[in-house]
Structures are given as C-alpha cells and as structure tokens.
C-alpha cells in the first residue's frame, strides 16, 4: 500500500435526528454523503477553515461548539502513484448560527459539494457515505468515535442519484 495524506476539518451538525451532509462530487467519496468541511488554506486555523468550508459547501454560517478530536482512515483510491488515501480528520460539533438560512453553495473550480441535505441517521451507511460521516453517526448514536485507524480496501467511488 502506498498512501497520500489528506487532512481536513469537518463539522457535525444534527437537527431533529438528521445529520447535515453534502453530496460529494469529486474524489474518493464521489456520489456519497460526506460531512461539510475540507482542507485548510494557507495560514488558516482549524476553526477558520471549518467555518469557511461549511459556508462554501452548505451556504450556512456556523458556530463551532466542541472539538471531538482527530481520527484517520485509509481508503483505497488510485491517484498518481498512490493506491490509498490516508484521510486524517479533525472533527467538531457545530450549530447553525442564529436563524440563518442557506445562501447556496459557493461556485469555484475546486468545489466538490453537489448540494446539502438533512439525512435521517439510518440512511447513512457504508454503502452511501464516507468514513468520516459514518464516524459522525456513531458519535451521535453512541457518543463515541473510533480510536484506531480504519481500513477500507474494497472502497468504490459511487454514482448515486441526487435526491
């Protein structure tokens, strides 16, 4: 296995038993639910990156509530000379700021969000979501997150229909 590192910061936002997710349009999670979030920009803190990514991918301003920690997974994904992505994720809980209404996702060349939806927790499965989204569901349901790195050697990029 030869992996490349992908570090991102992600927010868990729950309302009425539903998790706020995006539909992924690029990369190893294409066609799956994913948490809003992603890579940091130059000279950007974790919290600044989380708030920016959330706004870009969901159109919603958020308040950061709690740092849950950093977790990692290895996902089979061919890119250049690599066979796997080592996904390292800093997870936070977030809330929607005030009475904010989504202003729409930001359009730019690297945008990988195809839109936002509130999804019932049982609909989020290994077949429909990214590992970081599955970890979020485990945290919501059980109050715990993985301690060991996860390995997804049979990973497939999906082309799920948009709802």
What is the pTM for the complete model shown?
0.88
Positive or negative, the Cα torsion across 75, 32, 7, 69? Answer: negative
The reported pLDDT for the residue numbered 98 is: 72
3-state helix, strand, coil in the chain (%, to 5): 20, 40, 40
Q: Is 25 exposed, middle or buried (0-12, 13-18, 19+ CB in 10 A)?
A: middle
CA–centroid distance for 42 within its chain: 20
Say if residues 77 and 28 touch (Cβ distance below 8 Å).
Answer: yes
The reported pLDDT for the residue numbered 111 is: 60
The reported pLDDT for the residue numbered 107 is: 62
Give pLDDT < 50 ranges for the chain: 108, 162-163
Helix and strand numbers (H, E) in the chain are 2, 9
The reported pLDDT for the residue numbered 157 is: 82
The reported pLDDT for the residue numbered 162 is: 47
DSSP result, 40-101: PPTT--HHHHHHHHHHHHHS--EEEEEEEEEEEEEEEEEETTEEEEEEEEEEEEEEE-TT--
Render pLDDT for 26-47 as a digit per residue (tens, 0 to 9). 889 998 999 999 999 999 999 9
The reported pLDDT for the residue numbered 161 is: 54
């Amino acid at each position: 296995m030869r992996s490349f590192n992908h570090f991102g910061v992600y927010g868990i936002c729950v309302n009425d038993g539903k998790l706020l997710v995006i539909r992924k349009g690029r990369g190893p999670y294409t066609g799956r639910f994913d948490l809003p979030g992603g890579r940091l920009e130059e000279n950007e803190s974790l919290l600044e990156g989380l708030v920016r990514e959330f706004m870009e991918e969901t159109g919603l301003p958020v308040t950061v509530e709690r740092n849950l920690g950093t977790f990692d997974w290895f996902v089979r994904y061919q890119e250049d000379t690599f066979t796997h992505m080592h996904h390292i994720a800093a997870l936070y809980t977030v809330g929607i700021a005030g009475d904010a209404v989504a202003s729409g996702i930001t359009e730019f060349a690297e945008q990988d969000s195809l839109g936002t939806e509130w999804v019932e927790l049982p609909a989020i499965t290994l077949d429909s979501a990214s590992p970081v989204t599955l970890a979020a569901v485990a945290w919501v349901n059980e109050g715990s997150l993985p301690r060991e790195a996860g390995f997804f050697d049979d990973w497939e990029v999906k082309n799920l229909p948009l709802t």
